């Protein structure tokens, strides 16, 4: 491999000749050979957005230093980073400095080198130009918030809405079908299948509202706080102008956070938003469990619904088909719940003017958003939209349920109803036979008051 010599404040470094990064990125590569997890692409793209926004803000606030030529070069190069065109130039691990300094410098070096190549001359310096009016301590949390908002608004929420719409259609399709309700894994009073589906829909609509309520906090940006929140080396108006430029570049309403000391050291907005992701994960886990238990069988389980058969379920049992989409959803949910623990612990470890767990917080948050987005799409396309009611099995289970005796409470009382249910179970006879034999109602009276389909 051919190398070139780059230098930083610590001296010279050998860098691959075809790499756009510089000495500080190379030092991080050599010093943090930990794991396989790289800085998320969403963070890299967010850095491209914020570096372009910062250059345009500096052009307004410091036109003597950020010339039109420099601004244009930075904007072109940063635009390529934002579009994901230079991902191969961002090789750093998540497991690096907790402030994300090395990833900030990776962005500065790549944009400077690419900008110089576009300009055809050594026009840009990574620190003096690309990092002008900034610090890693305010750029990394800014990138985190930009990436989080884009991941939620542009990817997760649309998939969530698509699943909600699918469930609405499923509700409408299954109106009029009555089945056995279940509590404590035991038979309970009847429920309409459409009502059960509406419960699944609510499992998604509530965390969606929670996520929406978290977005205003994520739209607040730390940019302008520089090293410790004082804004040292940052001109007046830069923070507000940079937030305005980020908003125009993304089409999202970002603002400059008023209290930069809070913005640099606290990660509460991320904790709050991820709490909503955890709520969604928990609810999806519940829904997936319902689906796979209702579909259990086909002959020795509940068998009340049919789900699409996507692939063979066993290497040894011919004809077996498993609820694999449900299993994938529950594994994703487990990962998200684990990520929530990591994020909460890391957010509690801000010391003085900085939190130094930001890369792993960003990694966990964006992984959760990405996994939930993909799992929702897969679950919807390959399972939920293909759910069909097994009406014959639902009818059979409904009329065998002993908890239909609840309808008799107003006529024979709770204790007599309990005696009826226990006799029916013990002697394996119908509720009607038990009730009549006990003398609580005549056969005619029983038929007059006992209508399971009307109990929903």
CATH assignment at residue 419: 1.10.40.30
pLDDT, position 395? 95
Q: How far apart are CA 152 and CA 131, in angstroms?
A: 27
Q: What is the CATH number of the domain that holds 44?
A: 1.10.275.10
Residue 270: inside a domain: yes
Shared domain check, 284 and 195:
yes
Contact 179, 398 (CB under 8 A): yes
Quick check: is 53 in a domain? Answer: yes
pTM (two decimals): 0.96
Note the pLDDT of residue 381: 98
Identify the pLDDT of residue 222.
98
Residues 50 and 86 in one domain: yes
Which pLDDT does position 49 carry in this prediction?
98
Q: Which of 9, 88, 184, 315 is catalytic?
A: 184
Strands 388-389 and 305-306, how do they pair? antiparallel
Examine the domain organization and report whether 10 and 43 are in the same domain: yes
Q: Going along 22-126, which residue ranges are E strands?
A: none
Summarised one tens digit per residue, pLDDT across range 400-450 is 999 999 999 999 999 999 999 999 999 999 999 999 999 999 999 999 999
Q: Do both 188 and 309 map to the same domain? A: yes
The confidence score (pLDDT) of residue 102 equals 98
pLDDT tens sequence across 119-174: 999 999 999 999 999 999 999 999 999 999 999 999 999 999 999 999 999 999 99
Say if residue 351 is in the same domain as residue 443.
no
Out of 375, 392, 409, a domain closes at 392
**Structure-derived torsion over alpha carbons of residues 426, 427, 429, 430, reported in degrees to the nearest 10:** -30
How large is the average pLDDT for residues 323-335? 98
Q: Tell whether 146 is covered by a domain.
A: no
Contact 1, 62 (CB under 8 A): no
Q: Is residue 151 part of a domain?
A: no
Domain annotation covers residue 8? yes
Same domain, 182 and 69: no
Specify whether 115 is located in the same domain as 160: no
Q: How far, in Å, CA of 186 to CA of 397, rounded?
A: 12
Per the annotation, the verdict on 314 as an active-site residue is: yes
One domain for residues 419 and 381: no
CB 69 within 8 A of CB 327: no
Cis peptide before 298, with omega less than 30 degrees from 0? yes
Q: How many domains does the chain have?
A: 3
Sequence-ordered list of residues with C-beta below 8 angstroms from that of 177, at least 6 positions apart, any chain: 192, 193, 194, 389, 391, 394
Q: Which residues does 66 contact at the CB level (< 8 Å), separation at least 6?
A: 55, 58, 59, 129, 132
Any domain includes 148: no
Of the residues 392, 413, 439, the one at which a domain ends: 392
CATH code: domain of residue 376: 1.20.200.10
pLDDT-based confidence at residue 312 (cuts at 50, 70, 90): very high
Residue 436 placed within a domain: yes
Q: What is the pLDDT of residue 208?
A: 98
Angstrom distance (rounded) from CA 145 to CA 166: 30
Domain shared by 121 and 190, yes or no:
no
Q: What is the mean pLDDT of the chain?
A: 97
Q: Are 403 and 187 in contact (CB under 8 A)?
A: yes
The DSSP string of 106-136 is HHHHHHHHHHHHHHTS----IIIIITTT--H
Query: pLDDT (tens digit, 9 = 90+) per residue, 180-220?
Result: 999 999 999 999 999 999 999 999 999 999 999 999 999 99
CA 150 – CA 363 distance, rounded (Å)? 15
Nearest C-alpha neighbor of 41 from the set 281, 277, 329, 369: 369
Instruction: Please name every residue paired with 8 in a beta bridge, in sequence order, or none if there are none.
Output: 11
In a domain, 150, yes or no: no
State the residue range of the domain holding 182. Answer: 156-392
Question: Considering only CA atoms, which of 23, 67, 20 is closest in space to residue 48?
Answer: 20
Last residue of a domain, one of 392, 414, 444: 392
Q: How confident is the model at residue 74 (pLDDT cuts 50, 70, 90)?
A: very high
Same domain, 387 and 409: no
Q: What is the DSSP code (8-state) at residue 312?
A: -
For this structure, is 133 an active site residue?
no
Q: Are residues 127 and 216 in the same domain?
A: no
Answer yes or no: are the C-beta atoms of 47 and 143 closer than 8 Å: yes
Same domain, residue pair 160 and 283: yes
Which among 314, 348, 437, 451 is annotated as catalytic?
A: 314
Rounded Cα distance between 193 and 170, Å, is 10
Shortest CA distance to 455 belongs to which of 180, 202, 182? 180
Tell me how far apart the alpha carbons of residues 9 and 399 are, in angstroms, rounded to a whole number.
80
């Amino acid at each position: 491999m051919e190398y070139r010599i780059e230098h930083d404040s610590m001296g010279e470094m050998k860098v691959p000749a075809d790499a756009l990064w510089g000495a500080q990125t190379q030092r991080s590569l050599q010093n943090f050979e930990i794991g396989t997890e790289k800085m998320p692409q969403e963070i890299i793209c967010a850095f491209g957005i914020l570096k372009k926004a910062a250059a345009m803000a500096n052009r307004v606030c410091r036109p003597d230093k950020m010339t039109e030529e420099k601004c244009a070069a930075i904007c072109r190069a940063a635009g390529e980073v934002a579009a994901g065109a230079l991902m191969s130039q961002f090789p750093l691990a998540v497991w690096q400095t907790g402030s994300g300094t090395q990833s900030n410098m990776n962005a500065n070096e790549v944009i400077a080198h690419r900008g110089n190549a576009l300009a055809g001359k050594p026009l840009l310096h990574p620190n003096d130009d690309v990092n002008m009016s900034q610090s890693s301590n305010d750029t990394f949390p800014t990138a985190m918030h930009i990436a989080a908002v884009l991941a939620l608004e542009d990817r997760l929420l649309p998939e969530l809405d698509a699943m909600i719409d699918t469930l609405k259609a499923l509700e409408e399709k299954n109106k009029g079908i009555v089945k056995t309700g279940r509590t404590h894994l035991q038979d309970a009073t009847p429920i309409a299948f459409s009502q059960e589906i509406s419960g699944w829909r609510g499992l998604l609509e509530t965390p969606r509202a929670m996520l929406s309520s978290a977005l205003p906090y994520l739209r607040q940006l730390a940019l302008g706080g520089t090293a410790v929140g004082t804004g040292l080396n940052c001109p007046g108006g830069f923070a507000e102008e940079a937030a305005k430029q980020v908003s125009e570049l993304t089409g999202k309403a970002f603002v400059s956070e008023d209290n930069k000391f809070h913005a640099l050291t606290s990660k509460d907005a991320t904790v709050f938003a991820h709490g909503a992701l955890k709520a969604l994960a928990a609810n999806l886990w519940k829904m997936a469990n319902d689906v796979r238990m209702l579909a259990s069988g086909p002959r020795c389980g509940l068998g009340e619904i049919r789900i699409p058969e996507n692939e063979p379920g066993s290497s040894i049992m011919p004809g077996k088909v498993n609820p694999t989409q449900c299993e994938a959803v529950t594994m994703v949910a487990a990962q998200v719940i684990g990520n929530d623990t990591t994020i909460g612990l890391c957010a509690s470890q801000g010391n003085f003017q900085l939190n130094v767990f930001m890369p792993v917080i960003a990694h966990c948050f964006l992984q959760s958003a990405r996994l939930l987005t993909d799992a929702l799409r897969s679950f919807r396309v390959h399972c939920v939209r293909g759910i069909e009611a097994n009406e014959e099995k639902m009818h059979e289970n409904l009329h065998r349920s002993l908890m239909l005796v609840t309808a008799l409470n107003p006529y024979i009382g709770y204790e007599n109803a309990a005696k009826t249910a226990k006799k029916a179970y013990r002697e394996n006879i119908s509720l009607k036979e038990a009730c009549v034999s006990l003398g609580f109602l005549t056969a005619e009276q029983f038929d007059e008051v006992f209508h399971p389909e009307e109990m929903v």
